[in-house]
Amino acid sequence: MSTDLFNQTVYRPLAARMRPSTLDGFYGQEHLVGPGKPLREAIENGTLHSMIFWGPPGVGKTTLAKIIAASADAHFESISAVLSGVKEIRGAIAKATEQRDLRGRKTILFVDEVHRFNKSQQDAFLPFVEDGTVVFVGATTENPSFELNNALLSRCRVYVLKSLGQDQVITVIRQAIDNQQHGLGTRKLNLDNEALELLASAADGDARRALNLLEIANDLATEQGEGSSIDRQVLEQVLVGDTRRFDKGGEYFYDQISALHKSVRGSSPDAALYWLCRMLDGGCDPIYIARRLARMASEDIGNADPRALELALSAWDVQERLGSPEGELALAQAVIYLAVAAKSNAVYDAFKVTMADVRSLPSYEVPMHLRNAPTSLMKELDYGKDYRYAHNEKNGYAAGEQYLPDELAGKQYYQPTDRGLEKKIAEKLAYLRNLDNANQGDQ
């Protein structure tokens, strides 16, 4: 709590009260601010440069920006791309210019959620970053490569911040309990180890989330007459309906679907099932997962085990017909089957190569013997002439017949592997090619 100009108590969330003001109280990101690391040395030496902090929520992006400003005795100006536009950008630049011209101070311009600014808004910062009016510090939860202009990226150094580890989150929680000035108050709070670990796990690497949950649990325990005790029962009430960190359509979304796909491709049913459950637990649309499973069945399994596609489509159908939880169980069944099935990307590769040829080569004519001849004129023009009906040929195969355009005669796009059913397919194609060669030798 703090007081305003009229000595009234002003509420500040626990996470805001516990925000560290120096690197000594900052937890996590040792790969950036640990002893001897370049960012730490830059902060301690006051050698400022524009930068982008890329990482999940609650890992210290805003805090680190404020620590940098304090260490360099720089003016700190903050705007949020969620609430700001060109007007706010101009206002922040005007303040930075005043600090530079009248007071000789540098300005740290912190832009939260910078990826939400469009191209023209991002471009508005460029001249002022270039001439040193501001030291630009942007924070984003999205991949800067995709969300930020190259011009802005070229003027900033990107630092990747990571989720806090379980032990680090526990340390943050304990500090909030023990800190009598800014923490939960002067009374001693009882939080047993089981509840502490449950709380840290629910925070999912997010320090702000951990402190918010702790504050709610503390208020709930007090209201229920539990005294100063927060146990598992209290926390379970706080965590009802709680979900792990997952952003539909954002960085985590694509990272996790990528992990699921690569686990299936790598024949790891345990990992594939884990990533499936992570996505479902995070609120991903099961129908989207079903679509991706159908893709995996064609791309990574193909004709090595055609049943994989059938099972993926069946799981999709169950999900649409029955919903949760029956549909999710069907998706799990499909994921495990796809992971253990024989793998082949021969169909995928053949399709890519063939499509590339179709798009880059001329539009070759259909050979005359393959053309349809529904009219007498077409027959007179030799449409369909000399076509050999495969069912009338020995073994149901017209040995030596050519079906590709003349310019592509002998081209082989599909190269089956020696795994699963494709091993049999490869043997069959080799047998047919031998018949073709024998037929050509007889002619």
**pLDDT (tens digit per residue) in 15-72:** 888 888 888 888 888 899 888 888 888 888 878 899 999 988 888 899 999 998 888 8
Tokens representing 367 are 């050979």
**Residues 66, 128 within the same domain:** yes
**Residues 292, 381 within the same domain:** no
| Domain end residue (candidates: 190, 210, 238) | 238
DSSP alpha helix (H) spans, 344-385 = 346-360, 376-380
Q: Which of 194, 193, 184, 186 is closest to 221 using CA atoms?
A: 184
**Residues 430, 328 within the same domain:** no
Asked if pLDDT for residue 182 goes beyond 80, the answer is no
Distance CA 362, CA 367 (A): 14
**Residues 156, 172 within the same domain:** no
* Residue 39 within any structural domain of the chain: yes
Does residue 79 contact residue 111 with C-beta atoms inside 8 Å? yes
Does residue 287 contact residue 324 with C-beta atoms inside 8 Å? no
Please state the domain count of the chain: 4
Give the CATH number, domain containing residue 198.
Answer: 1.10.8.60
Per-residue pLDDT of 273-290, as tens digits, reads 999 998 888 788 899 999
Does residue 163 contact residue 251 with C-beta atoms inside 8 Å? no
What is residue 338's three-state secondary structure? helix
* Residue 273 within any structural domain of the chain: yes
Tokens 């003016």 label which residue? Answer: 75
| Domain end residue (candidates: 111, 140, 160) | 160
Give the CATH number, domain containing residue 326.
Answer: 1.20.272.10
* Residue 94 within any structural domain of the chain: yes
pLDDT mean over 378-402: 86
Does residue 263 contact residue 272 with C-beta atoms inside 8 Å? yes
Distance CA 280, CA 282 (A): 5
154-163, 246-255, 278-287, 375-384: range with lowest mean pLDDT: 246-255
**Residues 110, 35 within the same domain:** yes
DSSP alpha helix (H) spans, 361-402 = 376-380
Does residue 32 contact residue 159 with C-beta atoms inside 8 Å? yes
* Residue 4 within any structural domain of the chain: no
The size of the chain, in residues, is: 443
| Number of Cα atoms under 13 Å in the Cβ half of residue 14 | 25
* Residue 310 within any structural domain of the chain: yes
* Residue 71 within any structural domain of the chain: yes
Asked if pLDDT for residue 243 goes beyond 80, the answer is no
Does residue 311 contact residue 370 with C-beta atoms inside 8 Å? no
Q: Is 216 buried (19+), middle (13-18) or exposed (0-12) by CB count in 10 A?
A: middle
The secondary structure element, H or E, covering residue 138 is strand 135-140
pLDDT mean over 346-357: 94
**Residues 101, 126 within the same domain:** yes
Of residues 236 and 54, more confidently modeled: 54
| Domain end residue (candidates: 340, 358, 378) | 340
Q: Which of 30, 272, 19 is closest to 165 using CA atoms?
A: 30
**End-to-end CA separation in angstroms for the chain:** 97
Asked if pLDDT for residue 189 goes beyond 70, the answer is no
* Residue 313 within any structural domain of the chain: yes
* Residue 15 within any structural domain of the chain: no
Computed over every residue of the chain, the mean pLDDT equals 86
Asked if pLDDT for residue 181 goes beyond 70, the answer is no
- The domain of 417 spans 366-442
What is residue 139's three-state secondary structure? strand
pLDDT mean over 376-399: 86
**Residues 36, 153 within the same domain:** yes
Alpha-carbon torsion, ordered 203, 207, 209, 212, to 10 deg: 120
Given this model, what pLDDT does residue 187 score? 54
Distance CA 418, CA 342 (A): 10
Residue 159: phi, psi to the nearest 5?
A: -115, 130
pLDDT mean over 230-240: 76
Distance CA 92, CA 195 (A): 44
With a CB cutoff of 8 Å and minimum separation 6, the contacts of 336 are: 269, 272, 273
